[in-house]
Structure 1
Amino acid sequence: MTLYVTLDKGMVAFSPEDATISAIIQSKQYKIRIRRYVSSTEPNKILFKRDLSYLAMQRAIDAFALCAKELGFELVVDSPIRDYIDDREMFLVARSKLGIEIKQHDEKLTEHFAAFESVVNEQLERKLRDRQMWDAFFMTSMKKASNFSVPGSGKTSSVYACFAYLSSIGKIKRILVVSPKSAFGPWIDEFKQCFGAKRELNAFCIHDVGYSSSAAKKSALRYECGNVNLLLFNYESVKTYKDEIKGIVADDTLLVFDEVHKVKRIGGEYASAAIEIAADASYVIAMTGTPIPNTYQDIFNLLHILYGNEYDDFFGFTTQALKNPSPATTQQVNAKLRPFFCRTTKEQLQVPPPNSDMVLPVYVTIDEENILNVLLKKYKKNKLLLMLRILQLESDAKQLLNAIDLSEFSYILDDDVEVDEIDYANYSDEILDLINSQGLSSKTMQCLSLVRGLVAQGKPVVVWCIYVDTIRHLTDLLNNAGVSTCSVFGSVGLDQRTELLDGFKSQKYQVLVTNPNTLAESVSLHGICHDAVYFEYSFNLVHLLQSKDRIHRLGLPNDQYTQFYYLQPVFKSPEGYFSMSEQIYERLKEKERVMLQAIEGGVLETQPTTEEELDAIFQQVLQ
């Protein structure tokens, strides 16, 4: 008796003799080790599941071998199956080896790199730094890879170098970018700055007002994008236009996910759509300066975007193992990941370092201290609400009278904690009278003085906040004080946002007031502004790094200063002096130190959870 294993739209085991199949199905080996891989059986066939990985195929064949030995029949495996398994086994192993060789600038790649560099220099008007060129060579050679370089290190230029090379040799015709909406303008601007007169931009933006409906956009994507070389989608739009995008990326397209940490939620609809459109793409780049905001689980979706078909075979880490990895697992994860990402710091690109931070303590009034004591008692069991309420007290006490919907502030969290509580701000009449009697807060007065002083020296200023009410309040105060100020926040439309930013860059406005949730990604202000004031800030390291890098990034001249100011209200409490902002600042600096140390060591770092952050911040006053 002979059993044949072959490929026929999936793996199939068959035998000319019905008795062979019947004997196998009734065997102990089949029930224990083989049946899990089977979709159905026929009189002389066993049909396996269509989506078996090569490792599952190999395990099934090994189980058949044991079964054949026990039953005394011959097992014949067709060469196409052997070739397929060998090819898949070698694919990521070879790709992994190549990634390490490129990162080590292996001598045998010198000629290939020189040829790549020559083409890129010919195609681009902008000249890349050596480190950027190597990153571009890495992403191009790997075909599917991540760029985890820190914000402000020129990742976009490196991606355009990939595009320049691949399009010049006929591999691709266009680049499709999925990013936050705020990054659309920078991708367009960077295209023009990278290519200059050497290549004309022909862009399609999913939010172009020229299209009256989603049906019109779908029609344009199907029939009118043949000559488009840059397509821009935000993560929220991918699900709606998924089929059209899949048709585009399957042919001659470089697919880029910018700020890919936006789809870290496992099973989320944005992540699922991203994974689906990437499945058929030949060239994929995933970009983020903060690949692991919280746990190693944050890389699960990223690796499925890049290597969905190979994940189980090559990486194989379960979500639970990634959530709470042992030291051995952490080491194994980093060893597996290291060949597939490049990561460059601004120091490696010789961006001039910023000045030492200007930390400005603000000693508050007795009334503000009394209100703090009320908040500490009222919100001691909900530290996230406590943090948000203290921020309101520090900025404008009257904001304490507003309800807070915690779900609106989930973006400041480093992890995926579900928050949906609404606090309606119930206070006693005595406390209400105290809140209503407050004028400008101590921190607000200090901020106005600082900003007016900087503007008087001819320095444009960015002021970073969290609350939209604070943004509006500061904007009004500064304008009323004769300081030309604009503000950008979430509800400001894309066209108006571009107009305001252009106005700031042209010095129509002296001050820009904004928040990280709106403007922390991709926007470049370093050509005009070198001073940033942190009025409100949270423990979210992603927001800190990205907001800092709006004015401190690649392209600064060597003698250019950059200055960051942090306002830190100080309260006197029974436990001594307490500054929530100081505690948050120290947490941020420690997390930044850990990140840079990890980059130097070639590994990926994890960060504390939201609960751990809040416990540390309030440890002094909530014993």
Structure 2
Amino acid sequence: MDASVEPLSINVSWPDALTLIREFGTKAFQTSLGFRFVPQGEAVERIREFSDGFRKARASQGALKKEIDREEIQRRLSAAGFTRRTLKDFQFRDLENLLALPNGANFSVPGAGKTTVTFALHVLTRSPDSHIIIISPKSAFPAWRAVVEECMEPGAPNGGDEPFKVLDSRFDIDKELRSGSTRFLISYDLAVRQQSVLTAYMARNSVHLVLDESHRMKAGLASQRGAFLLSAATLPVRRDILSGTPMPQAASDLASQLGFLWPGHGYDLSIQRGQAPRDVLGNLYVRTTKTELGLPPAERHFYDVEMAPGQLALYSVVRSEALRQFTKVVSSGRIGQEFIKARKSVMRLLQLSVNPSLAVTGMSNDGNISSGIVDQVLEEGTSAKILAVADHARRLASEGYKTVIWTIFTDTIRELVTTLADLNPVFIHGGVQTGEETDPDTREGKLARFHNDPRCFVLVANPAAAGEGISLHTVCHNAIYADRSYVSTHYLQSIDRIHRLGLPADQETHIHIYRTRAPAQVGSIDLSVSRRLAQKIRGLEQTLGDPDLHLLAYDEENADDPIDYSVELQDLVDLVAELEGNADSTSEEA
């Protein structure tokens, strides 16, 4: 808690003041410590509102008291002009629950209609002078811009058909917010740069603030976006968070999101102190599962690919250096320069497992790698893993199927696009800008080509850039993973690009996961990723009670390990020595 101490006062932020009121709020407790809180001025009403909300939230944790039934929801939506889209049963259920809460969390799977439910919630709770602002990744902008036209009849009462205005850094944001519009979209990055403008806007208006993909603030006070959102959390009249993967790494990811949603209530502190997220959340969230969507389960397939000799030698050398760094980090217990080096080594091992010829380009500058090993890797060329992925995509194309190929490395995207030139691929990575569908160089133009061009059989993409906000399920039912990172959000959300609401009941969806096979003495980085993803998905399953996540984790846990037990440690030592030019020439040959 940050505070400034003056001779006659202690200054703290309003969220921190609410925490103090919660911790020391009872009259008996204050008397025992020899002091009394005496609210004055505006604080009297604000503390009363906080106390009312606190009691309601605590009561709702155990059992929600629904305040409006389905028939009344439908009647009010129709009266407001929300007639173009009919809500599904699970969407009505989620809306009923969210209406019973002053602030809400929608953790439904992608494709369940979180955007539609949240917009319906806005329509039902808005007053004539209220505003709504959505903070989201740019990839989600098209869905929010489309939802008004898809749901509202033209000329809906009270400006119900007003479109969302995108706030762009090219314009004066303060002027846009004062323009008379009441519905806005802004990216997380721009919101951080416009903190003072947004804070002033929320202070002078009745604003409903929605965080889409709210896990992006999971770092809390340790990040600029988290610190801003936590400091401004008490300003909006209502707050909602949306995420299909609210805890991508660990339970602690939820703390900052709950701190934003319920400032001063202590839910974030409960999680930080080790309380189970499921116990903390209670009924304070909604989630629609894939089973409830009626989706047939996706089938997951694992393929293990052997390393070439040069690749294996280089991987072994880097693994040894990485192990030294990891050991130093773990023993010191500190996050510093060694931790940064260790993370870099992890990324190198991941790249070496999929694309060693590109990895050596950056590594050769370090001067620690034998030129003999580098020469061998370059001579081997395109890795067996990339060739296997490419062959798989060609087999699917020969049967008329389109494929999305996922990789975490931009250089590997380029390599796959070149290798699969015969399939007319398109690609998306962080450097591809958003724009119009008519521009083939934009994200939207490339997606349009993948959907509409019968000769374009492959989309190669980075999950960090394309794992959110796009739908491929109408044309693509096969996803190939050339590699995966430790971030469960990227994996889960990328699967949901092809496995989402709208699939026929008999449609098969296939997830193909390629892993590099490594000797037991060295260990496979891909096996480590698989294990950690399973553990993180298990944690999400236990928090959200989603049986579909159990299946996904089970498949990871029961896939054969990509371990080669036929190679012994001395075999590796000899291989490295041979490629480094240090082999014992006097040894007998077979």
- Per the TM superposition, whether the score is higher than 0.5 is yes
**What is residue 350 of structure 1 aligned with on the other side?**
294
Letter in 1 for 2:303: L
SS at match of 1:163: helix
Q: Is the 8 A contact 1:124 1:161 kept in 2?
A: no
> Which residue in 2 is equivalent to 1:335?
279
Could you tell me how far apart the structure 1 residues matched to 2:38 and 2:539 are?
51
1:489 alignment partner AA? H
Deviations 1:310-347 (A, max 9, x none): x2xx32764xx74452xxxx15x643432322222111
Q: Distance in 1 between matches of 2:237 and 2:282?
A: 21
1-structure distance, mates of 2:45, 2:233: 25
Q: How does 1:119-268 map to 2 (within 5 A)?
A: 119-120=76-77, 123-167=82-126, 170=127, 174-195=131-152, 200=161, 202-207=163-168, 211=170, 213=171, 216-222=172-178, 224=179, 226-229=180-183, 231-250=184-203, 251-267=205-221, 268=223
Partner of residue 567, structure 1: 514
Contact 2:517 2:563 in 1 (8 A): no
Quote the Cα distance in structure 1 between the aligned partners of 2:220 and 2:349.
32
The alignment partner of 1:162 has SS state of helix
Residue 383 of structure 2 aligns to which amino acid in structure 1?
S
Q: Please state how far the C-alpha of 1:451 moved relative to its aligned partner.
A: 0.6
The answer for unaligned runs of 5 or more in structure 2 is 327-342, 436-441, 551-560, 570-590
Q: Relative to structure 1, is the Cα distance of residues 459 and 190 closer, same or farther in structure 2, using a 3 angstrom cutoff?
A: farther
Q: 2:488 aligns with which of 531, 536, 541?
A: 541
Q: Does 1:275 align with 2:230?
A: yes
Residue 58 of structure 2: aligned partner: 96
**2:567 aligned with 1:599, yes or no?**
no
Gapped regions of structure 1 (runs ≥ 5): 1-35, 69-74, 405-421, 606-615
CA contact (8 A) 2:488 2:536 kept: yes
Deviation at 1:64, TM superposition (A): 5.1
The amino acid of 1:271's aligned partner reads G
Per the alignment, residue 306 of structure 2 pairs with 363
Deviation track 1:533-560 (CA, whole Å, cap 9, x = no partner) reads 1011122211110110111112222222
For 1:589 and 1:553, the matched residues in 2 are separated by 21
Report the Cα offset of residue 601 of structure 1.
Answer: 8.0
- Partner-residue secondary structure (3-state), 1:445: helix
Go from structure 1 to structure 2 and tell me whether the alpha carbon gap of 1:569 and 1:497 turns closer, same or farther (over 3 Å shift). Answer: same
Match of 1:456 in 2: 398
Letter in 2 for 1:533: I
Structure showing greater Rg: 1
Q: Secondary structure at 1:123's aligned position in 2?
A: coil
Corresponding residue to 2:359 among 387, 395, 400:
400
**Is the contact between residue 295 and residue 322 of structure 1 (CA under 8 Å) also seen in structure 2?**
no
- Give the one of 498, 515, 518 matched to 2:462: 515
Q: Is the 8 A contact 2:84 2:150 kept in 1?
A: yes
Cα deviations across residues 169-201 of structure 1 (Å, max 9, x unaligned)? x36654311012222223223444344767645
Q: How many Å separate the matches in 2 of 1:365 and 1:430?
A: 15
Residue 585 of structure 2 corresponds to which residue in structure 1?
A: none
SS in 2 for 1:184: helix
Does the Cα contact within 8 Å between 2:278 and 2:543 map onto a contact in 1?
no
2:424 alignment partner, one of 484, 504, 528 = 484
Q: Decide whether the 8 Å contact of 2:434 with 2:444 is kept in 1.
A: yes
1:580–1:618 contact (8 Å) kept in structure 2: no
1:65 and 1:466 map into 2 onto residues whose CA distance is 58
Amino acid in structure 2 at the alignment position of 1:338: G
User: 2:515 touches 2:562 (CA, 8 Å); kept in 1?
Assistant: no
On the 8 A contact 1:246/1:277 being kept in 2, the answer is yes
Please tell me whether the aligned partners of residues 515 and 526 of structure 2 are also in contact (alpha carbons under 8 angstroms). Answer: yes
Q: Could you say what secondary structure the match of 1:371 adopts?
A: helix
Contact 1:358 1:566 in 2 (8 A): yes
The match for 2:368 is 426
Equivalent pairs, count: 520
For 2:45 and 2:74, the matched residues in 1 are separated by 35
The match for 2:447 is 501
In 2: Cα distance, 1:423 partner to 1:146 partner: 48
555 and 143 in structure 1: CA distance in 2 versus 1, 3 angstrom threshold: farther
- What percentage of residue pairs aligned between the two structures are identical? 24
Q: Secondary structure at the match of 1:551?
A: coil
Write the distance in 2 (CA, Å) between the matches of 1:532 and 1:370.
30
Of 576, 581, 584, the match for 2:526: 581
Distance change >3 Å, CA 67–CA 200, structure 1 → 2: closer
Distance 2:39 2:432 in 1: 62
Pick closer, same or farther for the CA change 1:529–1:94 going to 2, 3 Å.
Answer: same
Q: Deviations over 1:182-236 (max 9, x none)?
A: 222232234443447676452322237xx4x5xx3332222x2x2353x111111
Offset at 1:475? 0.8
Q: 1:86 to 1:282 in 2, by over 3 A?
A: closer
The Cα offsets for residues 53-74 of structure 1, whole Å up to 9 and x where unpaired, read as: 4446745775458869xxxxxx
Relative to structure 1, is the Cα distance of residues 278 and 323 closer, same or farther in structure 2, using a 3 angstrom cutoff? closer
One-letter amino acid of the structure 1 residue matched with residue 82 of structure 2: Q
Q: Please tell me whether the aligned partners of residues 305 and 516 of structure 2 are also in contact (alpha carbons under 8 angstroms).
A: yes
Q: Which residue of 1 aligns with 2:248?
A: 293
1:436 CA drift (Å): 2.0
Cα–Cα, structure 1 residues 59 and 94, in superposed 2: closer, same or farther, change >3 Å? closer
**Aligned partners of 1:272, 1:172: CA distance in 2, in Å?**
28
Cα distance in 2 for residues equivalent to 1:569 and 1:243: 49
Q: 1:263 is matched by which residue type in structure 2?
A: M
Amino acid at match of 2:388: Q
2:266 counterpart of 1:315 = yes
The answer as to 2:345 corresponding to 1:441 is no
**Does the 8 Å contact 1:361/1:569 carry over to 2?**
yes
Change (3 A) 1:432 1:113: same
Aligned residue for 1:178, secondary structure, equals: strand
User: Equivalent residue of 2:303, what SS?
Assistant: strand
Cα distance between partner residues in 2 of 1:111 and 1:240: 39
> Equivalent residue of 2:283, what SS?
helix
Q: C-alpha separation between the residues in 2 aligned to 1:529 and 1:236?
A: 31
Deviations 1:126-178 (A, max 9, x none): 222212222122223313121122333322221122123234xx366543110
CA distance in structure 1 between the aligned counterparts of 2:202 and 2:24, rounded to whole angstroms: 29
TM-score (normalised: structure 2): 0.77
Secondary structure of the residue that 1:437 maps to in structure 2? helix
> Is the CA contact 1:135–1:158 (under 8 Å) kept in the aligned structure 2?
yes
CA contact 1:397–1:441 (8 Å) conserved in 2: yes
Map 1:33-112 → 2, pairs under 5 A: 52-53=17-18, 54-55=21-22, 58=25, 63=30, 88-98=50-60, 100-102=62-64, 109=66, 112=69
RMSD of Structure 2 on Structure 1 (CA): 3.9
Query: Residues 79 and 494 from structure 1, CA distance in 2 versus in 1: closer, same or farther, beyond 3 angstroms?
Result: closer
Deviations 1:386-433 (A, max 9, x none): 4422332333322122337xxxxxxxxxxxxxxxxx983631121121
Provide Cα deviations, 1:324-381, integer angstroms capped at 9, x if missing partner.
Answer: 52xxxx15x6434323222221112322221x21212223333333333333333322
- Once residues 219 and 145 of structure 1 are traced to their aligned partners in structure 2, the CA distance between those partners, rounded to angstroms, is 30
State the 1:297 CA deviation. 3.4
TM-score (norm 1): 0.73
CA separation of 1:196 and 1:379: change in aligned 2, threshold 3 A: farther
SS at match of 2:297: coil
The amino acid that maps onto 2:165 is F
Q: How much has 1:38 moved relative to structure 2? A: 10
Change (3 A) 1:202 1:574: closer
Distance 1:596 1:369 in 2: 36
